Amino acid sequence: MKKRTEGAWIIHHTKKIQDVTFATDFEDIELTGKCGLFLSSLAASNQESTLSEEKVKAIAKASNIKKVELDTVMNTLKDALLIDTSKNGDITVLGVTTSSVLTHTSDLFNQSAADNFQKASIELSDYSSNTPIDELELKEYISDNYKLSTKENNKLFSQIEEIGLIDYETIDSKKIYFNGNLFKKDSLDKTRKVLDSLTPEESRHVQELDEHLSKEGCVIYDFALQILGEPLLNKLQSIAMYDFNEVSNTTHSKIFLTKPSSFAKFGNPFEDDALDLAKAFISSLIYGMKISPYERGQIRGYNMLYNTLKKLLRGERVGPCTAIGQDYQILELKRVIQLEHGYNGMYYMSLLKFDIGQLALDVLQQGDLAEHTTLEVDINSSNASIYNGPEKNRVKTRRKKDTSHSQDIGELLRTMRN
């Protein structure tokens, strides 16, 4: 497994582990994953960054790192020569790209005392990312390659199911394992198999939605719901056929659908946006563009959006306007951008993570999001302070899904294995 891929899986597992209260058998994964998330938020792509102790603590909190964990995370990164700390609590980190964060995360994991139990949890997720895998086949593969006893193997599978490191459905009394990356690669063939398994009416509705997504890049959730209906939409979300991106603040949220393959033209979509930074960037920009009133400094149209991104990529700042201080709080927390106070409540914005900015521009101009979207909204406030990525939204749907649809989901998975 490539280092970047392994690093992406460690980040993936860490995000899942953070949602449970007890996962002591995966401590090395959790520690190195939190190191990766923390390092990503600390770093700026093209420059050395020095951050005050106050900012460091704010970034740690935004990265879901507890106060009692922070010293361990910082010492791990310091021992790896990735950061330097001063006596007053400031942190300095050399220019680190998102790509190198994944490699560093992999290196930290392999330098830890991680046992085969934890290493196997990463391998089984990667092994089941291309096609659904039968339980017996996956257990045999993991046991043989990681020398786990039957007891250890059963314990591993029990825990990964409970934590949600991998998904499963029961088909013909057999468990079939899969994960949320099924449609990131070879999506056309897998979509065709899903369509073949649906009723003619369901298939027609899915093809209609797919035409809109291919032409327009993304569609608002309510629009997709109107075409597919809730049962079918939830079923397709459960197998990750669509990505559900949620941008919200304290008063409202908006969800829009994209294709998981949107990033496929530019490399490995799982690796390239494992941290959800480019998705958050694109989502926040579209959200702010569609919601911000003209007088707040709204980005007016896609040409202006492209020119704004190009200006940021040249190292220039944009602004000042009121919207910059309110619409891009997610990006500021993740240190994709940096805000600078102007006057009268207005702010300037500059780019910190140039690799993320370039990927966002490529996807907007050349990928599946290249055309105008149908993201129509009827709310006037903004302050976009929360972004939930596709995997988090998919898991929420699976947890609340009607169990009567389990067999339907199982049938969809079955067709993808043929």
Residues 6+ away with beta carbon under 8 Å from 31: 72, 73, 76, 112
Per-residue pLDDT at 188 exceeds 80 = no
Give the mean pLDDT of 78-82. Answer: 91
CA terminus-to-terminus distance, the chain: 25
Q: Which of 9-23, 107-121, 248-262 has the highest mean pLDDT?
A: 107-121
For the chain, give the percent of residues with pLDDT over 70.
75
Q: What is the pLDDT at residue 98?
A: 66
Instruction: Give the residue, 196 or 295, on which the prediction is more confident.
Output: 196
Give the mean pLDDT of 186-207. Answer: 81
Q: Where are the domains of the chain?
A: 3-174, 187-394
Helix/strand/coil (H/E/C) assignment for every residue in 196-219: HHCCHHHHHHHHHHHHHHHHHCCE
Confidence bin at 301 (pLDDT 50/70/90): low
Q: What is the pLDDT at residue 375?
A: 31
Per-residue pLDDT at 257 exceeds 70 = yes
Taking the mean position of all CA atoms in its chain, how far away is CA 172? 32
Give the mean pLDDT of 253-264. Answer: 71
- CA dist., res. 381 & res. 236, Å (int): 31
Q: Give the pLDDT confidence of 316-338 residue by residue, as tens digits.
A: 998 888 777 777 777 888 888 88
Per-residue pLDDT at 344 exceeds 90 = no
Q: How long, in residues, is the chain?
A: 418
Confidence bin at 380 (pLDDT 50/70/90): very low
Q: What is the pLDDT at residue 285?
A: 74
Q: What is the pLDDT at residue 362?
A: 79
Q: What is the pLDDT at residue 413?
A: 57
Exposed, middle or buried by CB within 10 Å (0-12, 13-18, 19+), for 69?
A: middle
Confidence bin at 245 (pLDDT 50/70/90): confident
Say if residues 236 and 390 touch (Cβ distance below 8 Å): no
Rounded mean pLDDT of the chain? 78
Give the mean pLDDT of 151-159. Answer: 93
Confidence bin at 205 (pLDDT 50/70/90): very high
- One DSSP character per residue, 335-400 reads TSEEEEE-STT-EEEEES-HHHHHHHHHHHHHSTT-SPPB-----------EEE-HHHHHHHHHHH
Instruction: Give the residue, 236 or 28, on which the prediction is more confident.
Output: 28
Confidence bin at 136 (pLDDT 50/70/90): very high
Query: How many other C-beta atoms lie within 10 A of the C-beta of residue 103?
Result: 17
Q: What is the pLDDT at residue 8?
A: 87
Instruction: Give the residue, 354 or 246, on which the prediction is more confident.
Output: 354
Buried b (16+ CB within 10 A) or exposed e, 196-212: ebbeeebeebbeebbeb
Per-residue pLDDT at 293 exceeds 60 = no
Q: What is the pLDDT at residue 154?
A: 94
Q: What is the pLDDT at residue 269?
A: 54
Q: Which of 25-39, 52-66, 191-205 has the highest mean pLDDT?
A: 25-39
Lowest-confidence segment of 45-49, 200-204, 255-259, 385-389 by average pLDDT: 385-389
Q: What is the pLDDT at residue 93?
A: 83
Q: What is the pLDDT at residue 357?
A: 86
Instruction: Give the residue, 400 or 48, on which the prediction is more confident.
Output: 48
Per-residue pLDDT at 37 exceeds 80 = yes
Q: What is the pLDDT at residue 129?
A: 80
Q: Give the pLDDT confidence of 156-186 residue by residue, as tens digits.
A: 999 988 888 888 878 777 888 887 777 766 6
For the chain, give the percent of residues with pLDDT over 90.
21
Per-residue pLDDT at 44 exceeds 50 = yes
Lowest-confidence segment of 74-78, 273-277, 321-325 by average pLDDT: 273-277
Lowest-confidence segment of 7-21, 182-196, 387-401 by average pLDDT: 387-401
